[in-house]
Every structure is written in structure tokens, then in C-alpha cells.
């Protein structure tokens, strides 16, 4: 350990840690352009200068390691003047196009000018070096503006170190130096270039000029694109999502996300979602509110109780449901029908896989469902469901979820088999997930419209957070089941979300007593199998 003094306050930190990281952790922000915690140190922007006792010159904090007894000033007059000089140098050839720059509101040049600048430029506009490459489309959704670049080289290092491709390089010298695309930007991680660019040099073609960021609200949640569960921020206004951006979590995705997940926000558009449900009748479909639909479904299900030794009702849960929804579904079947006919091994759709983030499993909570299924005394598999369906033992099936592509691929005759059912009730949010055989369609809350938890591929429990609810007919599955039980005259109480989360975590060894609040912003990891065996013993 090392004892360091920062702006007069003493802190105990790890010996050799980067000074800029230490300052970030203790709440002392130091301006920077080139530094990024998940990239190598370039030390070329000089904005992170600090004053260190005993050193005659200011030092860059990104490439300075703390040592015991170090005393640092990050806001002295000498430091402020140096940063203002550095900023003026960076601004020498920068264009005056803030009003038309899509980075406005997120641009570090703007922020630092207001913080340490506020000077009158000594460089007349007509003397600035003009670079002709403006609004150049690099492909993969990235637009480049050479004049705005401050040569921080974050993009160069990201492509080299994270993606493993030397697609971007620094060319020329002096005031004609600029970054350039030297090979096609062929990667599923290109969107991160717009995230890490501290100015308006690299921007997202998808988001450009759609909305100024200061008009948007932010909700921290989890990407539904694959079983990695990258931490993201959903940016929205007036019940409309405008973009997903990655949120730093060193245990899951560092500071990155793939473009598949990034652009999945479009599936949250109201045109892609089911806003009101319906029932299929002889004359066609009839639109109804969710309470009316659940009341009608309850009548049919109630008539199946006691019809056989085990009610001819089964449930399939897609691997995109939250742990809370899945737990409530299992509890509903057990308490209302005394049945364990809940299929939790629905295969996830397959997709790209790599060594960075993509897992090849395009569903958000396969691990959560498999964990719960492994603790079931009498698991009900998809094969057992097929046998019951073919044997005529089922009259009603309820489907919960949006991710059925994997099941369709594994069972080509699925939809044909469903035609034999008297009742097929779908609780889903997405139109593309619908089956034409459905007799009931009950709108379910999509990812951005509900709270809960998912377990990612590495066993990390993470929170899904609601940004808004599009209308009152849309409910999370646990909420719908509470109403359905009520209409059936059953005493089943689904409980509050926090109660369901706690009950779910209790069945996972090592997390008993944990709550939704404990999951927090960065989630909690499940114990390893060895730890779990020890805890269970």
C-alpha cells in the first residue's frame, strides 16, 4: 500500500497504480483526451498535467504511478494555466462548427473550454489549416471529420488492441497530421469508435442529427442481444429509444459492446411491439384490453383443473425472460395447477461468436433458466413436452417470451403440432415472435419496459431497468400471472418484484439473503461450482 496526498487529502492506495485512476476513484476528476482506462497509455494530449511535490516540471497523470509519500496538486494555478495553454494549442486549427457538430453536449473540447479555457483565440480563422475530408463515411456506421480530430489516437489503439485489426493509422506530419482509414472498417465493434472519440471527429451515422443529447433521458440497463449481457445506457425521450451505448463494467464488457446489441434498440420501437392484445375467434381476431383477455383465458384454464390427474396445461419459457418472470411462472404452475410442466430448456437462437464479447447464443437469460432448471426436483424438458403434445395429453399451452428462433430451428414441425391445441396463449412483446396458431396474444413488457434480473453466460446476475411503459395494457409476465390467478379465483400471490428477486436468489447457493438492491449497477457474481458445493454442504 502507498499513502498519497491529493489536494490536501490523504488516501491509502495500491503502490504503482496509475495516478489518474486513483484520482478518478476518489472523486477528483482530471481532464483527458487520449487516456482511456481500457487502452494502452499514449500520453500525447498533455491535458492531464498535475503538480507533484519534489518535481520541477508538471507531470502527466496518465503515465505516472503512485508511490508512498507522493503529494499531488490537480487544481493549482500552475496546473490550470498549463491546461489552458494545452487547450489553446489543441484548438489552433480546430473549426468553429460547434452549432452544427453532432458531438455537441458530449464534446470534451467544449467542456474543457468552459472549465479551463474561456480565452479569446489568438489564431485568426483564416490562418487555420483546413482539412478537406469532412463527413466522410468510413463504413460500418462511422462518419469521419478530419478537422475536428485532436489526434488522441484512441481509435487507433482500440482497433489495434481490442479488435486486433490495424484499420486506422496516423498519417502525414506536423499540422497536416491526421488519422486515416488504411483498410476497410470491417468489424462488429465499429460503433465503439464513436463512443471513445472525445470530440466530433468520429460520429455514429445511425444517431447523427436525430436528437441533441441534452434532451434525452438515461436509463442504465443490460443489453438483450446475447448471453454476454453487456452493461448499457438506453437514451430515450417521449417513450422512444434513440440509442444504446456501452456502460463500463470490468466484470462483463469493460467499456465495449458489439454493433448487433447496439442497434437492437430499434426493436424497442413501438412499430415493432405489440401494444394491444387480441383473441382469435371463428370470425377472426378481436382486439381487447389485457384484463379482458386474461379474464377470458382464465375461464378456459379454470375448466382444465381436475380434468385429469395432472391438468393438461404446459408452459414454455423463452430464454429472454427475466429471472423474476421465470420464477413467477414456475410458482404459478405449481400452486395453481400443481404441475411441473414448465419447459426451461428452450434453445437460444445461434449467432456470431468471437473471443471478445459475442457468445454465439443470442438470448439474454439462458443461464438463469438453466440454473433454475438444474435445481428442479422434476425437470420438464422440451422432449417431454413434445411427447405429451403428440400423445394428446395437452389442451392448453402458454408461451412466454420473444425468442423462439432457436426452438423453430430445432423443431421444424413445432407450429404444425400447435394446431392440435385448443388454446395457445402467447405472452410476448414483439410482432416478429408471433405464431399464426395463437388463440390469445397478451402484450408483454419488452426489455426496456420492465425491471428484473438476468444471469449472463459467466454467471453474473445483473439488473434490467424499466425506462418507461408504453401503455397500461402492457405488463411484465409476473404481473399478468397475478391477474390471471385472480380471475381464476386462486389465492396465488405473485408478490412484489423485490420479493420475487429475493426468493430467486435464495435458490442459488451463496446468494441467499441477497436483494434487488444488492445486485446494484454492476451486478453480483454467482459462486463457482466448487464454492456452491461447499456452501450447500
Q: DSSP secondary structure string, 229-295?
A: --EEEEEESSS-EEEEEE--BTTTTBT---HHHHGGGGGGSGGGB--SEEEEETTEEEEE-HHHHHH
Segment 398-420 mean pLDDT: 94
Segment 221-238 mean pLDDT: 97
Distance, in Å, from the CA atom of 137 to the CA atom of 145, rounded to the nearest integer, reads 9
Write the pLDDT tens digit of every residue in 430-453.
999 999 999 999 999 999 999 999
Same domain membership, residue 520 and residue 394? yes
Segment 460-482 mean pLDDT: 96
Write the pLDDT tens digit of every residue in 289-340.
999 999 999 999 998 987 767 889 999 999 999 999 999 999 999 999 999 9
- Per the model's pLDDT, the better-predicted residue between 139 and 306 turns out to be 139
Same domain membership, residue 131 and residue 35? no
**At 12, which CATH number?**
3.10.20.740
Identify whether 386 is part of a domain: yes
Hey, which residues does 11 pair with through a beta bridge?
4
Write the pLDDT tens digit of every residue in 10-41.
999 999 999 999 999 999 999 999 999 999 99
Segment 70-85 mean pLDDT: 94
In DSSP notation, 34-96 reads S--TTS-----S-TTEEEETT-SS-EEGGG-B--TT-EEESS-HHHHHHHHHHHHHHHTT--S
Q: Which of 52, 452, 456 is nearest to 251 (CA)?
A: 456
pTM: 0.93
Percent of the chain with pLDDT over 90: 79
Same domain membership, residue 282 and residue 311? yes
Q: How many domains does the chain have?
A: 3
Same domain membership, residue 527 and residue 462? yes
Distance, in Å, from the CA atom of 390 to the CA atom of 285, rounded to the nearest integer, reads 27
- Per the model's pLDDT, the better-predicted residue between 392 and 97 turns out to be 392
Q: Is the pLDDT of residue 427 over 80?
A: yes
Identify whether 350 is part of a domain: yes
Same domain membership, residue 75 and residue 54? yes
CB 253 within 8 Å of CB 357? yes
* Full residue range of the structural domain in which residue 11 is found: 2-90
Same domain membership, residue 283 and residue 256? no
Q: How many CB atoms lie within 10 A of CB 307?
A: 11
Q: Which three cell numbers stand for residue 143?
A: 462518419
Identify whether 108 is part of a domain: no
CB 168 within 8 Å of CB 153? no
Distance, in Å, from the CA atom of 288 to the CA atom of 280, rounded to the nearest integer, reads 11
Same domain membership, residue 486 and residue 379? yes
Q: Is the pLDDT of residue 375 over 80?
A: yes
Amino acid at each position: 500500500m502507498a499513502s498519497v496526498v491529493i489536494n490536501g487529502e490523504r488516501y491509502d492506495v495500491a503502490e504503482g497504480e496509475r495516478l489518474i485512476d486513483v484520482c478518478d476513484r476518489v472523486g477528483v476528476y482530471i481532464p483527458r483526451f487520449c487516456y482511456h482506462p481500457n487502452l494502452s497509455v499514449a500520453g500525447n494530449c498533455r491535458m492531464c498535467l498535475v503538480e507533484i511535490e519534489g518535481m520541477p516540471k508538471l507531470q502527466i497523470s496518465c503515465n505516472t504511478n503512485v508511490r508512498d509519500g507522493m503529494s499531488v496538486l490537480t487544481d493549482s494555478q500552475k496546473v490550470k494555466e498549463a491546461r489552458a495553454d494545452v487547450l489553446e494549442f489543441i484548438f489552433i486549427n480546430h473549426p468553429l462548427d460547434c452549432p452544427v457538430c453532432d458531438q455537441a453536449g458530449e464534446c470534451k473540447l467544449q467542456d474543457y473550454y468552459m472549465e479551463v479555457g474561456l480565452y479569446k483565440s489568438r489564431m485568426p480563422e483564416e490562418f487555420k489549416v483546413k482539412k478537406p475530408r469532412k463527413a466522410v463515411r468510413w463504413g460500418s456506421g462511422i462518419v469521419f471529420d478530419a478537422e475536428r480530430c485532436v489526434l488522441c489516437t484512441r481509435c487507433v489503439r482500440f482497433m489495434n488492441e481490442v479488435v486486433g485489426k490495424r484499420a486506422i493509422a496516423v498519417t502525414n506530419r506536423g499540422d497536416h497530421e491526421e488519422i486515416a482509414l488504411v483498410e476497410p472498417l470491417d468489424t462488429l465493434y465499429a460503433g465503439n469508435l464513436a463512443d471513445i472519440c472525445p470530440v466530433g471527429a468520429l460520429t455514429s451515422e445511425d444517431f447523427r442529427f436525430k436528437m441533441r443529447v441534452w434532451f434525452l433521458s438515461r436509463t442504465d440497463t443490460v443489453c438483450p442481444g446475447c448471453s454476454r449481457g453487456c452493461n448499457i445506457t438506453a437514451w430515450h425521450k417521449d417513450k422512444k429509444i434513440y440509442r444504446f451505448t456501452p456502460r463500463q463494467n470490468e466484470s462483463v464488457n469493460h467499456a465495449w459492446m458489439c454493433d448487433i446489441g447496439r442497434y437492437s434498440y430499434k426493436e424497442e420501437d413501438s412499430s415493432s411491439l405489440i401494444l394491444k392484445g387480441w383473441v382469435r375467434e371463428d370470425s377472426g381476431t378481436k382486439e381487447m384490453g389485457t384484463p379482458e383477455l386474461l379474464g377470458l383465458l382464465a375461464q378456459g384454464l379454470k375448466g382444465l383443473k381436475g380434468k385429469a390427474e395432472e391438468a393438461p396445461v404446459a408452459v414454455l419459457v423463452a430464454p429472454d425472460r427475466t429471472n423474476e418472470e421465470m420464477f413467477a411462472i414456475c410458482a404459478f404452475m405449481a400452486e395453481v395447477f400443481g404441475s411441473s410442466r414448465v419447459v426451461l430448456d428452450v434453445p437460444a437462437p445461434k449467432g456470431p461468436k468471437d473471443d471478445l464479447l459475442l457468445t454465439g447464443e443470442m438470448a439474454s437469460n439462458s443461464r438463469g433458466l438453466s440454473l433454475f432448471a438444474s435445481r428442479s426436483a422434476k425437470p420438464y424438458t422440451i422432449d417431454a413436452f413434445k411427447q405429451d403434445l403428440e400423445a394428446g395429453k395437452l389442451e392448453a399451452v402458454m408461451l412466454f417470451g420473444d425468442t423462439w428462433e432457436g426452438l423453430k430451428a430445432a423443431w421444424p414441425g413445432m407450429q404444425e403440432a400447435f394446431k392440435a391445441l385448443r388454446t395457445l396463449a402467447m405472452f410476448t412483446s414483439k410482432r416478429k415472435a408471433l405464431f399464426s396458431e395463437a388463440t390469445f396474444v397478451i402484450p408483454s413488457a419488452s426489455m426496456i419496459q420492465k425491471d428484473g434480473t438476468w444471469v449472463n453466460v459467466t454467471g453474473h446476475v445483473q439488473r434490467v431497468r424499466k425506462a418507461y411503459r408504453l401503455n397500461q395494457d402492457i405488463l411484465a409476465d409476473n404481473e399478468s400471472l397475478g391477474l390471471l390467478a385472480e380471475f381464476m379465483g386462486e389465492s396465488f400471490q405473485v408478490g412484489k418484484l423485490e420479493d420475487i428477486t429475493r426468493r430467486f436468489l435464495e435458490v442459488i447457493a451463496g446468494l441467499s439473503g441477497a436483494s434487488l438492491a444488492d445486485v446494484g449497477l454492476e451486478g453480483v457474481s454467482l459462486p463457482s461450482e466448487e464454492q456452491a458445493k461447499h456452501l450447500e454442504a
